[in-house]
Structures are given as C-alpha cells and as structure tokens.
C-alpha cells in the first residue's frame, strides 16, 4: 500500500516537472514571436532592415497632417526630429487630434510608411503614454 | 472643513484602536481564559471609526467642500450627485480609505463568523489581519491622507475624469475590493492555522466561506469592469489582455484553484500545504496588483497619481508580508501524516490536482505576459507590449484539455473511481456532442482546427453538465451551475470571435457608406445639454442585406471639467447579436469617424459570467437548506 503511494507521488512529480519544463519552453518561444516592440520615428530611420513584424510607433501627430477620406485616415507621426506617414483605416480614439500624442500599431511598408491596424486610445487630456513622452523627450 | 477634521481624527482614533487590539489579544492568547470579549468591542470600534472617516469623506464630496484637497482634485459642483458620491473612491486617497474600511469590516465579521473556532487560531488570525490593517492605516495617514487641507479654498474643483462617470464603474471598485480584501482574511487565517496547528477539515470548512465570498465578489468585479470597457471605451471588445485587466484576473485564477483545492482538504484531509501556498499567493497577487497599478508602473485609468513614495511604501509592505509568510510557512508548517491515507489515480482528488495544474499554468502565462515587459523596460530599455496573440496561442490549446478534464473530473468519486463504470457514459455524451458540433461545423466554413476542437470540448462539457444536473438532482448544484457557466462562456466567446464583424468609415452628415453587409446612412446630428456636459447625438440608419432597418444613436459627450470628450456607444442587444455603433470626432473636422460592429452572442458572455458567480452563491443557499 505504502509503496504504491510513493510510486504515485513519483509519477506526479515527474509529470509536474515535465509540464513545467514544457510550459516554460512554450511561454518563452511564444514571447519571442508575439511581442510588439515600441519604436520612435527616429529609430525607424536607423533600422537596418524592414521586416514584417508588428510594431508600435509613438510620437506627436504633426500639425495639419491629418487628411480624412471615406475609408481611411492618413497622418504623420513626428518626434520633432524625424517623421513617418501613417495610413490607417479603422476607428480612431476620441482624443486623436493634431498636436497630441499618439501610438499607432501596425506594419512598416518602408522607412517612411506605416500601415496601421490600430490607434491606441488615451484616457484623458493630461495623460500621455510614457513611451511617447520618452520618444519626444529624447 | 469641520467635516474633514472629523474624518481625519476618527481615522487616527481608528489607528489607535487597531494598535490597542494587539496587546489585548496577546494577553488573551497567553492566558487560559476564554476569548476576551473586549477584543470584539475594540475591533468593532476600529471599524466604526474608519466608517465615520469614510462617511465624512463622502459628505465632503456631496457638499463639494473644496477645502479638502481630495475633493478639489476629483470633484466639481456641476457633477450629478451619484457621481459625486462615487467620486469618493474614484481616486487614490479615497479608494485606499475604502480598502481600509473593508479590511476592518471583514475582520469584525470574521470574529462573528468564527465563533466556534479555537481561541488560539482566532486570535492569531486577528493579529495577522491587524498587521495588514495597521500597514494600511499608516499608508493612508502618511502618504495618502484624504483629508489634506487647502488654503485659500478654491471656488471650484477640477472634476472627475468623465470616463469614470458611469454607473458600472461607480460600483466596480467597491465590489472588486470586497474580493481583494476577502483574500486578506484567507491569508491571515492560513498563517494563523499554521501556527495554531489547525490545518484540518474544520478549518477548511470555515475558511471556505471566505474563499467563496471573495471569489464571488471578484467574479462580479471583473465582469463589471469588462462590461464597462465594452460600452465605454468604444472598441467593442470585452477583454483586451491589458496589464490592468490581467492583474485582476490573476488573483481570481488563484482563488479559483484554492476553491477547488479546499474541497480536497475538507473531504479528504490532504493537499494542506498546497492550500496554504495558494492562500498566500492569492493575497500577494491582490496586493502586488494594487502596487503595480497604484505606483504608476502600469499606465491606465486606474493610475491616479505617480508618487514614488507611495510605490515604495507598498513595495516595502508587500515584501515584509511575503517575508513573514515565508518564515511562518517554512519554519512552522508541519505536514500531518494520516495513517492509511489512500490515494488513487482515478479519483476526484487527482482531477482537482490536475485542475490546479492547469490553472497554475494559465496563471503563469498571464503573469509572465504582464510582468515581462516591465522587466525588459528596466533591464534593457526596450519598450514592448504583449498582445492577445501571445495569450491565445498559449492558453487556447491547453483550454481544450482543461475542458475535457473538467468534464470527467466531477463525475469521479472521492478516493477511488472505477474508470470502466463511467467510461460508457462519457463516451455516449462525447459522441452526442460530436454530432452536434458536426452540425455546427457543417454550417460554418471559416473555422480553424483549434477553434473547432475547442468548441467541441466546450460543448461536451456543457452537455455533460446539463445531463448530470438533471440526473443527480441538486446534489451538486453550485458546481453544475458554475461549470455550465464556464462552458457557456467559452462557447460564446468562440462564436463571438468567429461571427462578429465590423466596418469603420469617416462620414460627413448626410453621407452614405456601402459595405458588404448593408448600407449605413448618417441621417442627422442633434445637440443636447447634459447635466455637466454637452452632447452631440447622431442618428444612423442601417439597412442590412435583408432590408431590415436599424436606427442607432451614438453620442459624443464634451465635458469641460476636466476638458474631455467621451463617446457613448449605442448598442442594440438581441439574443443573437449586439449591433454596436460608436462615433468620434476627428481633429474638429466635419468628418465623423464611425465604427459599426455586429458582435455575435455578446449577451451570452455576460450571462455566462453571471452563471459562474451564481454557482458560487448557490452554495450559501444550500447551506441554509441543510440547517
């Protein structure tokens, strides 16, 4: 009876270890693939290659750069050193306006164009994403 | 002004009483007489003084007493009464006072509820709880005093973030806190049980009450937040895997694991140490959630102020509590060996252990996804975000297995089950659910492998639980309802993600937009004056392919205190789907950015959430039946 209990415990322990190793492996692998990096327009200019990974770009919406069409919104994100054109079709958050901070998520077409799939909302007038603050402050 | 004074001094009095409890209870602990009823009275007084303090803060908000800094920062005379009151906890200082209020209330209730428990265990729980309470007292008084005096007295306040002026969000924090703070009782009581050598069935029975209470509140709290995000944030989603959401989900998961594992302790007297670990980690997760959110490390609506001193205080407090619990756990915990304890592979115990493994896996995935970006930022200054694909990929495949175990587990017996006996039953139900799913798959072409298997396993659980429910009438009503709710939740989320679709466009007044499923006409725009905002109400006429017309009126609210624009979505809910429309201003242009979504089976997601919580509540009903 007692021997059986020990055996069961051993089985549990082995299963437990295997599952831990497996899950750590899975998590790390998945992190590597699914993480979205945040970069500023200046950093984009310095990128050695353009790949098809999703990125986030943050900065200010340049003054008089927003142009609206029926199915898309185009604008320029600037960090006051470099800028990038954004093409976006979708819903924009309420506080999206010229001269305000913005974060756009999407794919780079080349070093000057971003196809955005999401524009991130801000919650109030005073709030600025810390990434944007840093991108502009640098 | 006077009322702030009352509030402040009764807070200080509360602190004095809560310190007073300690010597009185230590004295009572060391002598042989019965439980000292003075402890009871002091703990009641402690609660009453915090209550007075909290009420005076509410009054300051109601009467817009701007000599109070908290009121000045977060209120405005033009705000409706309801939001003046809810503004009390819509800010850092007030919400901490609410924490404290619930803490003192719960320890008082604990003393009432644990009347028949051993004296030593009761007093030790009280002592541990007092450590937490005093910590919070000091935190509130030293770093976040809600009664700071302002001079000269400003004529008008700064106002509450309009996005928080919403009925669901007004009650979301108190309910969530009831859940979080409930976990502190579980924490203290398990540490006390270690020291009093009281980890046994009767402890499990008594602490189950608190586990259930916090679990139910946490479930409702998370759901309210999710409902709010759905209609207020304007994205039409209900879960974004945002760090702030994850932080509330983690204690919930850990609490859910605990809820299952305490059953094993109650019925079988095993898994004692695991129960303790879960109790400790649930509370630590709740506390670190508060730390991450309040310290400004995670930015969100929940971040009220970024004061490093506050962050440091919570961090220090948190580490002392972790340290304390580790010392007690490793230094004093004695595993009790029950002679002739039998443990078999096919038993309810095993299935609960498996359940706990899976929950721990989900928990660690979410923990890593939430914390990794923070560490990476500190270590390498790389800014990253971890989005839904990460979680979907890691959680969905295991959810399938989890659902299968969830189906099999409850039908196993305690100690030992004969697998052959239930094999036929399992198989028959499986074939039946498979056929039903086949019928569904036949009608949907755009289903990938993972979601089809997931749908199958959820349907299996759903069907099995229903059949089980009718067969063994009311024997396990709470488990059946909750499990049914969970399977329904998975099914509705899946169908929601498969069938939902959306279009977004920029329209001028009078313009039309043709899309795949119909035509949207921006018919008219009206202005209206609200109590503390001005609103633009649009009328949209949507004609779908079957020529059915839906009229929706989304709204844009322009608040001036503080100056903010919010969008109020208009949602038409039916049992099949929600029609969801939201419009935004774009850069003060004549164009309106419009997003129209058809969200399938949305209401079923909320229904399943409610079912899960009702399952928990039904335990109390059954308990009173038994009496």
pLDDT digits (tens, 9 = 90+) for A10-29: 887 888 888 888 888 888 88
pLDDT at A114 over 60: yes
**pLDDT digits 0-9 by tens, B452-492:** 888 888 888 888 888 887 877 667 788 889 999 999 999 99
Residue B627 pLDDT level (bands cut at 50, 70, 90): very low
- The candidate with the shortest Cα–Cα distance to B307, out of B293, B290, B320, B294, is B294
pLDDT at A133: 64
**Using CB atoms, which residue from B382, B562, B584 is nearest to A37?**
B382
Average pLDDT, chain B: 87
Are A92 and B394 an interchain contact pair (Cβ–Cβ within 8 Å)? no
pLDDT at B341: 61
Are A23 and B343 an interchain contact pair (Cβ–Cβ within 8 Å)? no
The residue of chain B with its CA nearest to that of A2 is: B340
Helix (H) or strand (E) holding B617: helix B602-626
| Two structure tokens written together for B437 | 């799913």
Residue B179 contacts residue B616 (beta carbons within 8 Å): no
pLDDT at A110 over 80: yes
User: In this structure, how many other beta carbons lie within 10 angstroms of the beta carbon of residue B550?
Assistant: 16
Measured CA to CA, the distance from residue B416 to residue B425 in angstroms comes to 17
Best-predicted range by mean pLDDT among B31-40, B344-353, B498-507, B595-604? B595-604
Helix (H) or strand (E) holding A4: helix A2-34
- C-alpha distance from B229 to closest chain A C-alpha (Å): 12
Are A16 and B357 an interchain contact pair (Cβ–Cβ within 8 Å)? yes
Residue B625 pLDDT level (bands cut at 50, 70, 90): very low
**pLDDT digits 0-9 by tens, B331-349:** 988 876 665 566 666 788 8
* Domain ranges (residues) in chain A: 1-34, 37-137
Average pLDDT over residues B155-162: 83
Chain A residue numbers touching B533 (CB-CB < 8 A): none
Q: Indicate if ipTM > 0.90.
A: no
- The candidate with the shortest Cα–Cα distance to B561, out of B581, B530, B533, is B533
User: In this structure, how many other beta carbons lie within 10 angstroms of the beta carbon of residue A45?
Assistant: 13
pLDDT at B91 over 60: yes
Chain B residue numbers touching A131 (CB-CB < 8 A): 383
CATH number of A37-137: 2.40.50.140
Q: What are phi and psi of B542, to 5 degrees?
A: -110, 120
Are A69 and B556 an interchain contact pair (Cβ–Cβ within 8 Å)? no
Chain A residue numbers touching B562 (CB-CB < 8 A): 124-126
| Two structure tokens written together for B147 | 């009664």
Are A121 and B234 an interchain contact pair (Cβ–Cβ within 8 Å)? yes
Q: Which residues pair with B526 in a beta bridge?
A: B537
The residue of chain A with its CA nearest to that of B236 is: A91
Average pLDDT over residues B273-297: 85
**Using CB atoms, which residue from B163, B504, B505 is nearest to A124?**
B163
Chain B residue numbers touching A90 (CB-CB < 8 A): 504, 595
pLDDT at B511 over 80: yes
Chain A residue numbers touching B299 (CB-CB < 8 A): 127, 129-130
Q: Which of A129-133, B211-215, B278-282, B367-371 is predicted least confidently?
A: A129-133
| Domain B169-334: top CATH class | mainly alpha
pLDDT at B258 over 90: yes
Measured CA to CA, the distance from residue B529 to residue B215 in angstroms comes to 41
**Using CB atoms, which residue from B161, B341, B593 is nearest to A124?**
B161
- C-alpha distance from A97 to closest chain B C-alpha (Å): 4
pLDDT at A2 over 60: no
Chain A residue numbers touching B567 (CB-CB < 8 A): 94
Measured CA to CA, the distance from residue B64 to residue A47 in angstroms comes to 54
Tell me the Cα Rg of chain A: 23
The residue of chain A with its CA nearest to that of B299 is: A129
pLDDT at A129: 57
Residue B64 contacts residue B84 (beta carbons within 8 Å): yes
The verdict on whether omega for the bond into residue B562 sits within 30 degrees of 0, i.e. cis, is yes
**Using CB atoms, which residue from B234, B587, B594 is nearest to A66?**
B587
pLDDT at B128 over 80: yes
**pLDDT digits 0-9 by tens, B521-575:** 999 999 999 888 889 999 999 998 888 999 999 998 888 777 778 888 999 999 9
Distances (CA, A) of B454 to B241, B388, B564: 20, 17, 42
Residue B626 pLDDT level (bands cut at 50, 70, 90): very low
**Using CB atoms, which residue from A27, A38, A123 is nearest to B365?**
A27
**CA quadruple B284, B287, B293, B294: dihedral positive or negative?**
negative
**Using CB atoms, which residue from B233, B504, B587 is nearest to A121?**
B233
| Stretch(es) of chain B classified as CATH 1.20.120 | 169-334
Helix (H) or strand (E) holding A21: helix A2-34
């Amino acid at each position: 009876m007692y021997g059986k209990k020990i055996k069961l415990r051993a089985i549990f322990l082995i299963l437990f270890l295997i599952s831990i190793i497996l899950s750590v492996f899975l998590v790390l692998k998945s992190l590597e693939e699914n993480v979205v990096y945040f970069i500023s327009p200046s950093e984009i200019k310095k990128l050695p290659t353009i790949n098809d990974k999703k990125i986030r770009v943050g900065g200010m919406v340049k003054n008089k750069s927003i142009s609206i069409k029926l199915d898309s919104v185009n604008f320029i994100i600037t960090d006051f050193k470099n800028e990038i054109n954004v093409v976006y079709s979708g819903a924009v958050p309420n506080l999206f306006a010229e001269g305000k901070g913005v974060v756009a998520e999407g794919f780079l077409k080349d070093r000057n164009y971003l196809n955005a799939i999401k524009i991130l909302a801000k919650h109030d007038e005073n709030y600025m994403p810390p990434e944007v603050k840093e991108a502009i402050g640098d | 002004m006077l009322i702030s004074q009352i509030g402040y001094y009764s807070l200080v009095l509360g602190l004095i009483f809560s310190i007073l409890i300690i010597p009185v209870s230590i004295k009572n602990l060391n002598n042989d007489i019965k439980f000292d009823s003075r402890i009871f009275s002091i703990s009641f007084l402690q609660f009453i003084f915090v209550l007075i303090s909290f009420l005076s803060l509410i009054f300051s908000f109601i009467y817009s007493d701007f000599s109070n800094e908290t009121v000045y920062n977060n209120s405005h005379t033009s705000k409706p009464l309801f939001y003046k009151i809810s503004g009390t906890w819509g800010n850092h200082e007030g919400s901490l006072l609410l924490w404290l209020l619930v803490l003192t209330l719960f320890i008082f209730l604990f003393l009432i509820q644990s009347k028949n428990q051993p004296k030593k265990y009761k007093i030790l729980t009280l002592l541990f709880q007092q450590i937490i309470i005093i910590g919070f007292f000091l935190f509130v008084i030293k770093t976040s005093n809600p009664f700071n005096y302002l001079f000269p007295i400003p004529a008008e306040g700064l106002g509450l973030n309009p996005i928080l002026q919403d009925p669901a969000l007004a009650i979301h924090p108190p309910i969530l806190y009831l859940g979080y703070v409930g976990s502190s009782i579980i924490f203290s009581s398990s540490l006390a049980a270690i020291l009093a050598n009281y980890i046994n069935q009767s402890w499990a029975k008594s602490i189950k009450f608190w586990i259930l209470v916090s679990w139910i509140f946490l479930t409702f709290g998370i759901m309210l937040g999710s409902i709010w995000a759905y209609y207020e944030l304007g994205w039409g989603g209900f879960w974004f895997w945002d760090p702030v959401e994850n932080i509330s989900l983690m204690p919930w998961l850990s609490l859910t694991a605990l809820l299952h594992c305490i059953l094993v302790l109650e019925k079988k007297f095993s898994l004692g140490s695991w129960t303790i670990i879960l109790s400790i980690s649930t509370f630590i997760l709740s506390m670190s959630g508060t730390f991450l959110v309040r310290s400004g490390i995670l930015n969100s609506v929940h971040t009220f102020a970024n004061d490093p001193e506050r962050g440091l205080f919570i961090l220090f407090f948190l580490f002392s509590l972790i340290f304390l619990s580790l010392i007690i756990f490793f230094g004093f915990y004695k595993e009790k060996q029950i002679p002739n304890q039998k443990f078999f592979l096919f038993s309810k115990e095993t299935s609960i252990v498996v359940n706990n493994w899976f929950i721990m896996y989900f928990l660690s995935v979410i923990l890593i996804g939430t914390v990794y970006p923070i560490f990476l930022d500190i270590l390498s200054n790389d800014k990253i975000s971890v989005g839904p694909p990460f979680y979907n990929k890691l959680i969905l495949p295991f959810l399938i297995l989890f659902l299968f175990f969830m189906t099999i587990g409850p039908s196993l017996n305690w100690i030992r089950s004969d697998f052959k006996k239930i094999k036929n039953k399992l198989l028959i139900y499986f074939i039946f659910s498979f056929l039903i799913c086949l019928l569904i798959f036949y009608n949907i072409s755009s289903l990938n492998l993972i979601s089809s298997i997931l749908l199958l396993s959820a349907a299996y659980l759903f069907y099995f639980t229903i059949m089980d429910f009718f067969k063994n009438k009311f024997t396990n009503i709470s488990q059946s309802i909750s499990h049914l709710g969970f399977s329904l939740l998975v099914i509705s989320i899946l169908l929601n993600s498969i069938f939902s679709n959306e279009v977004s466009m920029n329209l001028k007044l009078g313009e039309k937009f043709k899309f795949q499923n119909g035509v949207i006409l921006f018919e008219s725009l009206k202005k209206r004056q609200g109590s503390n905002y001005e609103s633009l109400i649009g009328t949209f006429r949507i004609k779908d392919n079957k020529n059915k017309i839906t009229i929706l009126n989304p709204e844009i609210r322009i608040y001036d205190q503080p100056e903010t624009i919010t969008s109020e979505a208009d949602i038409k809910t039916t049992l099949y789907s929600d029609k969801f429309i939201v419009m935004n201003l774009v850069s003060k242009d004549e164009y309106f950015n419009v997003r129209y979504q058809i969200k399938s089976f949305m209401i079923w997601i909320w229904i399943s959430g409610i079912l899960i919580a009702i399952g928990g509540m039904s335990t109390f009903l059954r308990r009173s039946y038994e009496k």
